[in-house]
Amino acid sequence: MNTPDAPCFRLNPTVRWLFAATLALMGVGLLMVYSAGMSADPSERFVMFQRQIVYVPLAVGVLLVAMRLPYQWLNRWYVVLGLLALTVVLLAAVLRFGAEVNGARRWFRFSLGAFDLSVQPSEVAKLCLILCFAWFLSRPGDHVRSFLRGFVPLAVMLAIVCGLVARQDLGTAVLLGAVGAVMMVAGGVQLFHMATLVPPAVAAMYVLIVYEPYRLTRLMTYLDPWKDPEDAGYHVTQSLMAIGSGGWFGRGLGHGMQKLGHLPEDTTDFIFSVISEEMGVAGAAMVILLFAVVVLLGLRVVGRSDNRFAMLTALGIVLWIGLQAVINIGVATAALPTKGISLPLVSYGGSGLLLTAGALGVLMSIAARTAELNSVGDDRAAGTMTLPGMRAA
Amino acid sequence: MTQQHQPAARRTQFLLTVGFSLVFAALIGWLAAIQIRSGGALARRAERQHTVLKTIPPFRGHIVDRIGRPMAVTVDGCTVFADPKFIHQYGRAGDAAEAASPRDGAAAAPGAALASLADAQYVDEKYQANRARVARDLAPLLAMERADIEAIVGADPHKQFVRLKRGVDGATRDAIQQLRLRGVGFESEGLRCYPNGTLAAHLVCGVGADNQGLGALEYQYDERLRGSAGQRVLDVDGRRRAVWIRTDGYVPARDGQLIVTTIDLAIQSFTEKALAAAVERYKARGGSALVMDPSTGEILALANCPSFDPAQYAQTDPYVARNRLLTDPYEPGSTFKCFISTAALQAGVVKPNESIFCHNGHVVIDGRRMTDHHPFGSLSFQDVVVRSSNIGMAVLGKRLGNERLHEACVRFGFGTKTGVTLPGEAPGLVYPLERWHKWSATSIPMGYEILVTPLQVATAFSSIANGGQLMKPSITRSVCAADGTVVEDHSEPTVVRRVMSEETARYMRHEVLHEVVWGDHGTGKQARIPGYGVFGKTGTAKKKNPTGGGYSSNLYVGSFIAAAPLDHPRVVVMVMIDEPQRSIAYYGGTVAAPAVREILAKCLGYLHVSPDEPARVASSPRRPH
């Protein structure tokens, strides 16, 4: 039994399964980015894939490095505050200097020789916010229960980051808000303190919708996407047509038609629709189950964690991945209003994929250094896979 | 620390595990619900969106003459079209954002994509420059104005298909392809060609923009010539570009059938030349000529002058474009005398060599004053026809009486369509008996008060030539499938009825109509061909006054119909000259007979017909040609 203060690294079953599910999702992603890259014009084919084939190994590398590094290194005030400052600066800067795509400034573009790298600061913001909250909420003492010393700093931090993100990307802001709020509750902030957040959040949403009329259109479209399938409802209806074309078992890998210029954002926000068309409900359910494996194993790490920082960090990461997947799939299936949000690990994207992999690396780092998870592996013969959901005898 | 937070962590794990499990299960359920509720409808909608039915145009069948020389053929051609939207986008090819995310362009509403562009002004200029370049390069090749092309392309920059020109031939297409213009494309289609120009124009008549037959054979056999379009199913991407051709739903085009006509283009050619020369010489409004094989009723040549370019059929003046040989009935005048005299002889109301008193050129019959162009006393029956005496014919008409006269007209096929397979044939007009009046019996024998088409005259004349059988005139020998196998055989001649005995026909040829050409007083002396027993009949008919009642004093139709050789005539040639200048000449024997002689002589040579009157060859001062 390792002491909580100096837990040693072990590739316990939880880590292995997490790693396997993560790799599987990235593999599905790579496959579907390749498939969706088909085009009638040879010069347009597989543009995204050519980058993704580089990003995926990079992401696996980042994941492996993050897993080996002790997560406790992140539990330092200078690391956390530094990250927070970096996030705020990046978020503010992107609004001014970012490249504009489809009317929104969300990316920084760097050109590294022949290779274009896009960095989305809101992706950085997600991980930083989670670490900040985990650090703040896990500091020793009773300040969390206090309104002024506990609730207010967190609420202000959340408001600043969400506010900056919301300027261009409401979906991510909502995601961040949800992750932050759940972390606060799990971290011990009083519920009636939390309740004071509701009126300003509602007011902020109202203002954002009023000032950006396209958001109202999106909401109306959500209610009836078939009302205007050529314009406002275009994305959703095309996505539904892809899902409908797929049927139960799909048209077969590579046989999708919707990805050929009918379905927009087919490598990013609507890659789930491509999966549905080519692999059917069966394949889509497999992807959902893979996410379920990641989320439920992550929650297992949360439940068995040795300390509050580990628990809150793991919780934040799980919420991030899980909620983002749910929102993306919900949008693609018209269960939620349209949001420009990608499917973690699967969608094409450089910075998003690297940061998601890094976050999962941190989660695995925690899992690999959690005494209770490691002890489960001790009971089993080495080399045999153990179902991670099984409790220790 | 561990013990402190454990219960809370477990509780969080439990709550969120339950929550996420429910949400994930709900998502899978929701997917299944979409599939069950509307999966089929969605799939069909997607299918409609990404499939395009492309028709494959069939090749229009060819029309050839009796030995396979082309009259109307279909060659490989195309429609040239432009893609204004593409030309537009090509104009801003340097725009990095557009090149980097081509898919977005298709996804976003066109208007929004344009509006979001940083520098719309710049784009517009590039577009115009590109449009101008396309117009500049295409204009000379398509024989169009640059401004017109620019206007067509620029009308709506969001369109992806505008026709620039149809019916462009293969050579021009290749030349345009060499230019490698982006945003200009081709749609293959058959291009109707008339390799002989104006030759036999009235038989083919041209096609419309969609290759539909407009007149004559092109119209008559449109369904056979047209074939049936095939189709293929294309899967297209969001910009309607073909991704691949599906193997299901492919129906090959069936090309149109081949029409083999009875026309001989060689005969057609010299017939048209002779006709045109006659029309030119007598400054006539127009003229028509017909060459028929009397034994089968096959039309060997059919010409109207002036002719026209079949490719311009739709724009041609109706008088020129009409096949007047069968659409325009006229009062035949003296030509008709040969039929009535034949009927009189057949009926026995007159005997060969019988003498008929012609009242010295002036007589009043049934209260009407009749005259001859020359005063005759007594004329033999033959001479009544040979010298074309109106009074003599009136006498024959009175002898026949209304009923037999009417029956004769009908038996010779007048007043009903001949049934030739060409559109627009007029039946002519033979008044029913109850509408006949007291002068009818004297007017009809000299070719008035009756409307006939030249085709009917030639067909009726053929019955005299072939020994008494009225044939159904034919223009088609066979209809063949695109691969050449015969689908319908029309080469078997059709006898309508016998209209006279062999003896009567022989007598008419040898003793009467032969004399018209060879006799000292014959009206058709100009049609003599040394060595051949040419026989025929002239006709000079007054035309109705175009402005009022009665007959015009200077509008005539001069015609001549003849055949040779005497015993077994091979060809019947009819020429009619419409409205020759009265001051030059207007008698059929003058304006039409020389043209008939030329056509007949060339036909006999072309058909290798041996001279049948060796005595006359010896006496002839010169060979016919």
Residue corresponding to tokens 């019996």: B441
Half-sphere exposure of B160 (CA within 13 A, CB side): 6
Any domain includes A387: no
- Most confident range, picked from A4-13, A45-54, B293-302: B293-302
The answer to whether residue A227 scores a pLDDT higher than 60 is yes
Predicted confidence at residue A327, as pLDDT, reads: 94
Token readout for B240 is 């309607």
Q: How confident is the model at residue A114 (pLDDT cuts 50, 70, 90)?
A: low
Greatest mean pLDDT among A42-51, B40-49, B139-148, B364-373 lies in: B40-49
* Residue range of the domain that includes A38: 13-381
Using alpha carbons, list the distances in angstroms from residue B275 to A260, B453, B462: 65, 18, 20
CB contact under 8 Å between B10 and A303, yes or no, is yes
B137: which 2 tokens?
A: 């390069």
Q: What is the pLDDT of residue B531?
A: 87
Q: What pLDDT score does A29 carry?
A: 95
Pairing of strands B63-64, B258-261: parallel
Q: What is the pLDDT of residue B617?
A: 43
Burial of A88 (0-12, 13-18, 19+ CB in 10 A): middle
For residue A237, pLDDT over 50 is answered with: yes
C-beta atoms of A322 and B20 within 8 A: yes
Q: What is the pLDDT of residues B408-437, one digit of tens each?
A: 999 999 999 998 989 889 999 999 998 998
Looking at chain B from residue 32 to 61, which residues have their Cβ under 8 Å from any Cβ of chain A?
32, 34-35, 38-43, 45-47, 49-50
What are the residues whose beta carbons fall under 8 Å from the beta carbon of B520, sequence distance 6 or more? none
Give B270-301 pLDDT, tens digit per residue.
Answer: 999 999 999 999 999 999 999 999 999 999 99
B557/B543 Cα distance (integer angstroms) = 7
Write down all domains in chain B, each with its CATH number in brackets.
56-87+104-148+156-261 (3.90.1310.10), 265-308+325-482+494-617 (3.40.710.10)
**Is residue A386 over pLDDT 60?**
no
Cα–Cα distance for residue pair A55/A36, rounded to 1 Å: 17
Candidates B42, B86, B89, partner chain A, best to mutate (most A CBs within 10 A): B42
Residue of B nearest to A47 (CA): B100
Highest mean pLDDT among B23-27, B53-57, B574-578: B23-27
Assigned token pair, B374: 């020359």
Angle (CA) A35-A38-A42 rounded to 5° is 150
Quickly state the pLDDT bin for A7 (edges 50, 70, 90): low
Number of H-type helices and E-type strands within chain B:
24, 21
pLDDT band at A376 (very low <50, low <70, confident <90, very high): low
Asked, for residue A389, whether it belongs to a domain, the answer is no
Angle, in degrees to the nearest 10, between helices A47-68 and A13-36: 170
A45-84 residues touching B, CB cutoff 8 A: 47
* Cα of B478 vs its chain's centroid, Å: 17
What confidence tier does B374 reach under pLDDT thresholds 50, 70, 90? confident
pLDDT confidence of residue A43: 76
- Return the closest-CA partner of residue B292 out of B613, B572, B588: B572
Average pLDDT, chain B: 85
- Domain-embedded: residue A329: yes
Q: Could you tell me how many helices (H) and strands (E) chain A has, helices first? A: 14, 3
A5 found inside a domain: no
Residue B114's pLDDT band, with cuts at 50, 70 and 90, is very low
Phi, psi (5° rounding) for residue A99? -80, 140
pLDDT at position A2:
41
Q: Tokens standing for A359?
A: 């976050």
Percent of chain B surpassing pLDDT 70: 91
Strand partners, A302: none
**Does residue A7 belong to any structural domain of this protein?**
no
pLDDT at A207 over 90: no
Burial of A205 (C-beta count, 10 Å sphere; 0-12/13-18/19+): middle
Provide the ipTM: 0.91
CA dihedral B514, B515, B517, B522 (to 10 degrees): -160
Q: Which residues 6+ apart lie within 8 Å of A63 measured at CB?
A: A19, A22, A357, A358, A360, A361, A364
A240 touches chain B (CB under 8 A): yes
pLDDT grade for A131, boundaries at 50, 70 and 90: very high
Higher pLDDT, B552 or B478: B478
User: In the prediction, which pLDDT does A115 show?
Assistant: 61
Name the DSSP class of B69.
Answer: -
Burial zone of B4 (CB within 10 Å; 0-12 exposed, 13-18 middle, 19+ buried)? exposed
pLDDT in tens, B384-402: 988 888 999 999 999 999 9
Q: Among residues B226, B222, B561, which one has the least CA distance to residue B385?
A: B561
Structure tokens at B243: 């991704």
- Could you tell me if A30 and A275 are in contact, meaning their C-beta atoms sit under 8 angstroms apart? no
Nearest to A244 among B5, B17, B39 (CB): B39
State the helix-helix crossing angle for A170-187 and B2-50, rounded to 10 degrees: 160
Please tell me the predicted confidence (pLDDT) of residue A241.
94
**Residue B153 burial by CB count (10 A; 0-12/13-18/19+): exposed, middle or buried?**
buried
Highest mean pLDDT among A293-302, B548-557, B580-589: A293-302
Each residue's pLDDT tens digit, A93-108: 887 777 776 666 677 7
Over residues B302-314, the mean pLDDT reads 88
- Tokens 């030329």 correspond to what residue? B598
CB-CB under 8 Å, B12 with A302: yes
Considering the domain boundaries, does residue A93 fall inside one?
yes
Cross-chain CB nearest to B9 (options A234, A288, A303): A303
What is the tens place of the pLDDT at every residue in A66-93? 999 999 889 988 998 898 888 888 888 8
All residues of chain A having their beta carbon less than 8 Å from the beta carbon of residue B46 are 241-242, 244-245, 257-258, 262
In a domain, A4, yes or no: no
b/e code B507-525 from CB counts within 10 Å (16+ = b): bbbebbbbbbbbbeebbbb
Position A27 pLDDT exceeds 70: yes
- Which pLDDT value is given to residue B122? 53
Query: pLDDT tens across B344-369, in order?
Result: 999 989 988 889 988 888 888 888 88
Tell me the C-alpha distance between B487 and A107, whole Å: 71
Nearest CA in chain A to B11: A303
pLDDT exceeds cutoff 90 at B118: no
Contacts of A243 (CB under 8 A, 6+ apart): A273, A276, A277, A284, A332, A333, B31, B34, B35, B39, B42
Average pLDDT over residues A345-373: 91
Residue A143 has pLDDT above 70, yes or no: yes
Order of strands, edge to edge, in the sheet holding B535-544?
B298-305, B286-293, B571-578, B551-564, B535-544
Question: Strand, helix or coil at B529?
Answer: coil
CA distance A370 to A301: 8
**Model pLDDT, residue A205:** 79
- Around A385, how many Cα atoms within 13 Å sit in the side-chain half-sphere? 6
The model's pLDDT over B32-90, given as tens digits with 9 standing for 90+, comes to 999 999 999 999 999 898 888 888 888 889 999 999 999 998 888 888 888 887 777 65
CA dihedral A393, B2, B4, B7 (to 10 degrees): -30
Q: Is A261 on the interface with B (CB under 8 A)?
A: yes
Average pLDDT along chain A? 85
Which tens digit of pLDDT belongs to each residue from B236-251?
Answer: 888 777 888 888 888 8
Q: Which two tokens stand for residue A327?
A: 């929102």
Q: Report the C-alpha gap between B524 and B503 in whole angstroms.
A: 23
Tell me which of A137, A249, A262, A363 to substitute to probe the interface with B (most B C-beta atoms closer than 10 Å).
Answer: A262
Least confident of A115-119, B29-33, B312-316: A115-119
Burial of residue A120 (CB within 10 Å: 0-12, 13-18, 19+) is: buried
Question: Is A313 in contact with A366 (CB distance < 8 Å)?
Answer: yes
Q: Which of B311-334 are b and which e, b meaning 16 or more Cβ less than 10 Å from the residue's Cβ?
A: bebeebeeebbbbbbbbbbbbbbb
Mean pLDDT to the nearest integer, A276-291: 96
Least trusted range by pLDDT, from A50-54, A58-62, A155-159, B619-623: B619-623
Does A64 score more than 70 pLDDT?
Answer: yes
Determine the average pLDDT of the residues in A242-259: 92
A333 at B interface, C-beta within 8 A = yes
CA distances from B611 to B147, B422, B565, B593, B603 (A): 65, 34, 8, 20, 12
Rg (CA), chain A: 21
- Over residues A11-16, the mean pLDDT reads 90
Cis-peptide, bond into residue B306, ω within 30° of zero = yes
pLDDT of residue B134: 81
State the total domains in chain A. 1
pLDDT one-digit tens code per residue, B450-467? 999 999 999 999 999 999
B145-159 pLDDT tens trace: 888 888 888 787 777
A64 in a domain, yes or no? yes
Q: What's the full length of chain B, in residues?
A: 625
